[in-house]
């Protein structure tokens, strides 16, 4: 899941970003409303965490502009404004939820999952499978030969990427860009390290191997018979 965090307080933005990354999300951060609007209209996000009180273009203006452009990305307002009229105004503008500062990260995470479940289109495929390997996005569950495999949030996200692009060779650079923010991607072997850990759980206990190394490129997940 890809999240846009819009927050002008750098410490708060870093706090939210760190927590979301640890829970398997991909995170972009904007500190100004104008930057947020550009990112939200040029990239696809699953949800936006949007502060109201932003320098220049505030969060309400950002949300209003998005909705006028028929952008229906779920938005959770995050703000110190806790008056009833403030909350009602935000919801009327098209916000999906409203969290008042100060807040606990656990509450924010729970609200995010609730909003994402609420807005999940029924037509969207939420299960991916190759041979006897199956990943259920909604239940956050991976099984092989009917046996559940416990993955870390990052391993789950990595396997999701491979399954969504099954049969396609993904370069290490592409994987790093999709799974890790570039500013967090310092070690060139981070993809290989995480792939070894994923293989140890998904492939090593089973006779048939599904994750393959493509020499000079990266990795592919496919059933080679």
Each residue of 184-218: pLDDT tens digit?
445 557 889 999 999 999 999 999 999 999 998 89
Each residue of 95-152: pLDDT tens digit?
888 888 888 899 999 989 888 887 654 444 578 899 999 998 878 899 999 999 999 8
Each residue of 66-105: pLDDT tens digit?
988 888 899 999 887 766 676 677 677 788 888 888 888 9
What is each CA distance from 185 to 4, 10, 25, 149, 188, in whole angstroms?
Answer: 18, 20, 15, 27, 8
Give the pLDDT of residue 67: 87
Q: Is residue 19's pLDDT more than 70?
A: yes
Q: Is residue 29's pLDDT more than 60?
A: yes
CA 180 to CA 25: how far, in whole Å?
9
Q: Is residue 13's pLDDT more than 80?
A: yes
* Averaged pLDDT score across all residues of the chain: 86
* Helices 33-42 and 59-68: angle between axes, nearest 10 degrees: 30
Give the pLDDT of residue 137: 81
Give the pLDDT of residue 190: 85
Give the pLDDT of residue 122: 41
Give the pLDDT of residue 23: 86
Q: Is residue 181's pLDDT more than 80?
A: no
Give the pLDDT of residue 98: 87
Q: Which 3-state string (H, E, C) describes the chain?
A: CEEEEECCCHHHHHHHHHHHHHCCCEEEEECCHHHHHHHHHHCCCCEEEEECCCCCCCHHHHHHHHHHCCCCCCEEEEECCCCHHHHHHHHHHCCCEEEECCCCHHHHHHHHHHHHHHCCCCCCCCEEEECCEEEECCCCEEEECCEEECCCHHHHHHHHHHHHCCCCCEEHHHHHHHHCCHHHCCCCCHHHHHHHHHHHHHCCCCCCCCEEEECCCEEEECCCC
CA 6 to CA 33: how far, in whole Å?
7
């Amino acid at each position: 899941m890809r999240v846009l965090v819009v927050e002008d307080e750098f410490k708060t933005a870093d706090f939210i970003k760190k927590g979301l990354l640890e829970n398997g999300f991909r995170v972009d951060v904007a500190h100004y409303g104008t930057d947020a609007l550009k990112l939200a209209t040029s990239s696809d996000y699953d949800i936006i965490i949007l502060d109201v009180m932003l320098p220049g273009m505030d969060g309400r203006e950002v949300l209003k502009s998005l909705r006028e452009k028929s952008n229906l990305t779920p938005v959770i307002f995050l703000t110190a404004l806790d008056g009833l009229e403030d909350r009602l105004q935000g919801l009327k503008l098209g916000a999906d939820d409203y969290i008042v500062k100060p807040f606990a990260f656990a509450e924010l995470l729970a609200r995010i999952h609730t909003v994402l479940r609420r807005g999940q289109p029924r037509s969207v495929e939420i299960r991916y499978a190759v041979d006897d390997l199956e990943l259920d996005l909604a239940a956050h569950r991976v099984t092989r030969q009917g046996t559940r495999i416990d993955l870390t949030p990052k391993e789950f996200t990595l396997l999701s990427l491979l399954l969504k692009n099954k049969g396609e060779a993904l370069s290490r650079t592409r994987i790093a860009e999709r799974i890790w923010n570039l500013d967090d991607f310092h070690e060139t072997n981070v993809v290989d390290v995480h792939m070894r850990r994923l293989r140890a759980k998904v492939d090593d206990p089973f006779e048939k191997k599904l994750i393959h190394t493509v020499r000079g490129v990266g990795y592919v997940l496919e059933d080679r018979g």
